[in-house]
Structure 1
């Protein structure tokens, strides 16, 4: 997982790279979602790291963009790492500071 230096982008190194044809994707950048990108999703489900919610939101905020099928084939540890970063995006700045002990 990335250091929280940029509040809008996090980088996640994947334990198991995603194969897309000849390309191997070993790291993902997650962009902080905007309200419109959360359309049709429950914030509670995202906060609880529910797989269905993560599968819907990740293709909307990953660089390079992933498909739902690629997210569905991710290793569980990698999906959880992405979910943890998404969870940190859902917190207000003051809450992040409390969690980080700053």
Structure 2
């Protein structure tokens, strides 16, 4: 079940981790503390390094930095768009959706 503060992404290319295969990732809206040490500008621009820092803090199953590095570019872009969307105020999202 998806909540507005949690998104489930079905991966085009599953991640192999030992005997485990990750086919989907749940991403939840980060709290301010989970963004420590990360530039919000870089995260909003979907900077790969910023995503590698924040995704282990907000994903289920927990993605490691190495897992993020193995993501298919299309999956990384979709995840980045969702994470960047969490940084936008509700009123701004509503205005964008109306246009």
In structure 1, the gaps of 5 or more residues are none
Asked if 1:45 is matched to 2:32, the reply is no
Superposition CA RMSD, Å: 1.3
3-state DSSP class of the match of 2:54? Answer: helix
Asked if 1:26 is matched to 2:19, the reply is no
3-state DSSP class of the match of 2:63? Answer: coil
Shift of 1:100: 2.2
Asked if 1:60 is matched to 2:57, the reply is yes
Report the equivalent of 1:79: 76
Per the normalisation by structure 1, the TM-score is 0.90
The separation in 2 between residues aligned to 1:26 and 1:34, in whole angstroms, is 25
Report the equivalent of 1:94: 91
How many residues are aligned here?
A: 98
The separation in 1 between residues aligned to 2:24 and 2:75, in whole angstroms, is 10
CA deviations on 1:57-102 (whole Å, 9 max, x unpaired) are 1111000001111111111111111000001100001011122228
3-state DSSP class of the match of 2:12? Answer: strand
Per the normalisation by structure 2, the TM-score is 0.93
